[in-house]
Every structure is written in structure tokens, then in C-alpha cells.
Structure 1
């Protein structure tokens, strides 16, 4: 698969420093935390924070990770081309990009520090001459802040969100490769989506609903392809995966996976499948890659 907008690999190295200098009021310092992994998280809707199992799984995952100096999130809920860097001012309100939920979900706050230096580093890692947009009016959406409220509830780690400039897996792999070196600066890269997301085809919306066959089949296929390091099949999932197109009537919730895989040492490396199971019939399989 090819795309004329594919981002080539970068030979350059760009350092990243803390968003607030050597030491700030949130306790962040220039002391290195070591190389961070990259994650693909199935985040779901805001009510996932009420799911005891998912919350416990995310909390346990966070305890096993090195503490990040900064966090960079690519969410299924922000598509914008060219690649766009979100707000770096923590005073900008969160993006409540959902509707029809109880008011308490709109009252959620996550006042993590901004990361302007990380925004600069991301821009510097993109190809020379490629336009990078900045949107200082758009802060974290629920694909970013919902899992972070569980994993890092103190909101004391600088967080930056960037857009997906395309849904093409090959291009997103290249974006991930360009971001890879940020891991050496203590940046935790998170692709936030959902392993299956066939909302229009769900007939039972209870959290403990029996998953439909298309969700089970796609999840089983994904589990096998991850275990085999079969990046070629994953890239061509729209044609090779069972359960399509029901599992992903649009592919935006699987697309962040490819930024994560691109940020791996090698995309074919076998990831650690740290979370599985279903919520509301959707597969919430999540990965850690090194």
C-alpha cells in the first residue's frame, strides 16, 4: 500500500525538554526517565470510567510503565490534515466531543500542563517543507483525557495531542517512525482508538453485552496478527480481517494503532497485549510496544 502523502523516515535527532523548564510546580524535571514504550489503548466512550475492570486494568498498566516526562496522544477523534498540533495552554477547555451523556461527563476536567517544547519537537521531526498547523483552541478530546484520568489522575505530566493527518495505515506508520525518537526523551506515545468500533451494528448497548460475532472474529484475528508480528496483514485489515466492515464502518478507531506500531523499534516486533475483553460488545484489546 502506498500513498503520495507518505511521510519519509527522519535521519535527524531532536531533543525534547520539559515544558516548564528544568523544574516546575508540577514536579517535572530534566532528569531522564529512560526510554518509554508506546501504547495503543482502546479508550471507548466516557462511561468506560465507570467500568471497574477497565479502570483496574488501566491503573495496573500505568504502575508497570516508567513514569513519563511528557505524553503525546494521537486520538481517533481528531482527523486534520496536515498534521496539527493542539493547544499547549492548560487553561484551554477540554474538547467534549460527545453528546447525549449525563452532565457529570461534561464536568470532567484534566488540567495537565501544556507541552510547548514537545509541540516544537514534533514539528521539527516532520519533513522539511511540510506544513504543520497549530490549533491553540483545541485541547484534549475524550480519546486522550478519558484514559489519562485513570492512568495519571494527578494530571501533573505535560500532555500534547496531535491530529491524524490521514487514515492511511502506511502513512501513519511513517508518522510513528518520525515520532519514535521522542521515546528516548521520556515521551510516552499513545495511540488511542478501539480494536472494534461498529457502533451502528450493536443491538445491545449494555456494558456487559454479549459481543456480536463480527467483533469477536475481528478481535481474534487481531490477536493472532499481533502475536505473529504480521504488520502486512494489519496494514491491509480492511481486506483481510474478518468482521469487516461491521467491526470498523469507518477506520478512524483502528488508525491510531499504526502510529503506535510505527513508533516501535520495528513495526514487526511482537507487542505485549496487556488488555483484552469486551465492553458493550466492542473489543478493547490494548498493546504495549517497545
Structure 2
């Protein structure tokens, strides 16, 4: 039996994801039950950026409430997963061997880009984690390189998750249930086709080639996790779209699997 795991891109949406009755919440709950159980999870989140890639070495990271103005129940939720310190050391080594300058910290807590999907997929918090940051302002090639450096770990029953958002313009949101605006649909349709055709070089140049890229991502951080997991994919393997939904008009909740 193969122990190879996938790499997943998950659109995590608002911090209310674990408590809302939504298609994405139900999808993630089911996904955790259907995927082969990993021995550990490497997770990169749009909400942890740093000057250089950082690997968290906090043995028992706290749950971070990196948001405001949401229902008070969210501030009582905890995701008490531990860090796999041996795997974290392997992650540091592999990233450094790829030519990247890497740092470590023992002070990082789980941000909501990490714990909201994990709480639905693995509610017992009994799968150890390794948290890796995204280097702020890095090139698309750098994020892809990070995934390439880590992809061999998939063969050792390690699941890689990139948590971000397929589209993410919080200044253009509409009431829930609103129609998807043409500028968001155009970007998502272009990206769907590029992924389904495995046009990696086009996706790495998404800011130049995708229609209305800056309308959908005024900043890059929610798209960059997709580039990491694309780098973690096996050569010539076409990604598969696992889920699609739209919230507040223009916020895509698309999730993709890379094998």
C-alpha cells in the first residue's frame, strides 16, 4: 500500500468557517474522513508571512485569534495540535538544501488560516503539524521552489496543505448569496483551465497573464499557498478541483488536490 499523500490548496474563507452551515464546511469535514490518514501535516498559511521562510519549532503552539469583530464563540475554540519536531528539522534541511535561506522560531501560534480548515478535517487535533511561513514579497518561483523542496516528504505519508483563497478582494464583497461578478468569474475560469491543462509556467506568471489578477488579489499572500502546493506536485500530474463555492459574491472557496 502506498504511503504517498497529496498536496492540497484550500480556500479557508472567514474565521467563521468552523461554525457556519456552508458547503465548504461540509466539504472539509468529509474530506478529512475520506483522505488516507497522514502521519503529519505541513501547513503554509496566507496569514503567516515573514522576511524569509520560517519553520515553527513551538512544541505545542497556541491557537491564535488573528481577527476581530466576529462571534464571541470563535475566541473559545482551540486546536491543540503538537509540532512534529523531527519532521520540522527535516523541513528546515530540505528547504536549505534547495538554496533558500531559512529561519526558525519557537514563538508562533496557529493562525486561523491553519486551524479553521484543520479543525474541520481533523477535529481531534491528533495529527502533528509543521508550520512554515511564506516569505513576504518573494517571487512566484520562490514559492514553487519551496514546494519542490518539500514534495519528497509526501512519499513518507506527510500531507502538505496550502491555505489561502482562490480569489481575495475584501474591498469588493457583497451580501452572501450575491451573483459572482464577471471580474471574479473571469479570473477563476482562467485559473481553472490553466490548472486543468497543467500550465505551470503560465500560473507562475499569473499576475501578468490571468485576467483582472489585481482585481481578484490586490495583494499576493492568499494566492501564494497555491504556488507552494503546485511545486509539491509530482511531475506531469494534473491537479484536480475537489470543491467550488462562492461566498459574498466574489470570494471563491475553491479547493484543489495536487498528486
Common fold: TM-score over 0.5: yes
Contact 2:23 2:245 in 1 (8 A): no
Shift of 1:81: 2.5
1:234 aligns to what?
203
Query: Secondary structure of 1:110's partner?
Result: coil
Q: Provide the rounded CA distance (Å) in 1 between the counterparts of 2:220 and 2:126.
A: 32
The question of 1:111 aligning with 2:75 is answered: no
Mark the CA change 1:250 to 1:184 in structure 2 (over 3 Å): closer, same or farther: same
Deviations 1:73-106 (A, max 9, x none): 010111112211124322x421221122122112
Structure 2 gap ranges (5+): none
2:248 corresponds to? 280
Give the number of the structure whose residues are more often helix, by fraction. Answer: 2
Structure 1 Cα separation of the partners of residues 193 and 208 of structure 2: 16
Q: How far apart in 2 are the matches of 1:34 and 1:75?
A: 24
The 2-side partners of 1:144 and 1:225 are apart by 26
Match of 2:91 in 1: 122
SS in structure 2 of the partner of residue 99 of structure 1: coil
Question: Do the aligned partners of 1:38 and 1:263 also contact (CA within 8 Å) in 2?
Answer: yes
| Greater than 6 Å deviation, 4+ residue runs | none
Q: Over aligned residue pairs, what C-alpha RMSD do you find?
A: 1.7
Contact 1:87–1:139 (Cα < 8 Å) also in 2: no
Distance 1:93 1:207 in 2: 31
Question: Does 2:57 match 1:73?
Answer: no
Secondary structure of 1:126's aligned partner: helix
Contact persistence 2:58–2:108 (CA under 8 A): no
Q: Which residue pairs with 1:24 in the alignment?
A: none
Query: Which residues of structure 1 form unaligned runs of 5+?
Result: 1-31
- Cα distance in 2, alignment partners of residues 96 and 251 from structure 1: 22
Q: Aligned equivalents of 1:130 and 1:175: distance in 2?
A: 8
- CA distance in 1: counterparts of 2:5 and 2:112, whole angstroms: 23
Correspondent of 1:86 among 43, 49, 56: 56
Residue 184 (1) aligns with residue 155 (2): yes
- Shift in alpha-carbon separation, 1:159–1:144, aligned structure 2, 3 A: same
Q: 1: distance between equivalents of 2:241 and 2:128?
A: 26
TM-score, reference length from structure 2: 0.93
Q: Which has the larger radius of gyration?
A: 1
Residues 107 and 125 (structure 1 numbering): CA distance in 2 closer, same or farther, change over 3 Å?
A: same
Whole-Å separation in 2 of the counterparts to 1:95 and 1:87: 16
Shift of 1:33: 7.1
Residue 52 of structure 1: CA displacement? 2.6
Name 1:265's counterpart in structure 2.
Answer: 234
Q: Are the counterparts in 2 of residues 72 and 160 from structure 1 also a CA contact under 8 Å?
A: yes
